[in-house]
Amino acid sequence: MPTAIFRPADFFASLNWGSVFSTPAPIEIEIGCGKGAFLAWAAQTRLQHNFLGVERQMIRLRKVDSKVQRLGLTNVRLLRIEAGYLVGKMIPDNSVAAYHIFFPDPWPKRRHQANRLLGPAFVLELHRTLQKGGTVNVATDDATYFAGIQKVFANSGKFTPTAPVSLPVEAQTEFEKLFLAQGLVINRGRYVAGEPLRASLRV
């Protein structure tokens, strides 16, 4: 039975993108692809790019896989893995065009905030794996977390903040739809890998 779920031969080695995707193309990675709304929309609108959707829960990944098969998307692969390990240990240098990280767990309690994905070490790994000019797109409903994200990217000295991309309704994740229905503000950021514009880094 066809499947977009990819199982690396060796979880202790860097990924060979040629073994993940059959056609060479710029690679975009969505961390925490959920039910696959954004992933499916992006893969359909940018057929010239390859997309890797990352999730920790296999039950979610299987649902996204069903959607990918139904839509006939050949430029999508799915991987069950913890994001920090994937980016830190398995993604080759300078090989990714974009990361999409929408509504990561905010860990709102102060004693749990060390568990947040978008911390200093992780952001440096994002930069290592991105091509120059590659982007990180983030979104969160948690204003405190977003302020921390802005600070982490600024302090890294590796990224230039730019205007976030506006997404259509069909690209909204289930979390975004839920938060918007509750009247919450969605905070968005877009960060470009390369030498930062110092004047724009005040947060």
The pair phi, psi for residue 123, each rounded to 5°, is -65, -35
Domain regions of the chain by residue span: 25-200
Please give the chain's pLDDT, 203 residues, in tens: 699 999 999 999 999 999 999 999 999 999 999 999 999 999 999 999 999 999 999 999 999 999 999 999 999 999 999 999 999 999 999 999 999 999 998 877 777 678 899 999 999 999 999 999 999 999 999 999 999 999 999 999 999 999 998 889 999 988 888 898 898 899 999 999 985 444 333 32
Active site residue 65: no
DSSP, res 151: H
Q: Among the options 10, 93, 105, 142, which is catalytic?
A: 105
pTM for this model (two decimals): 0.93
What the block records as the tokens of 111 is: 């004693």
C-beta separation of 97 from 42 below 8 A:
no
**Fold topology of 25-200:** Rossmann fold (3.40.50)
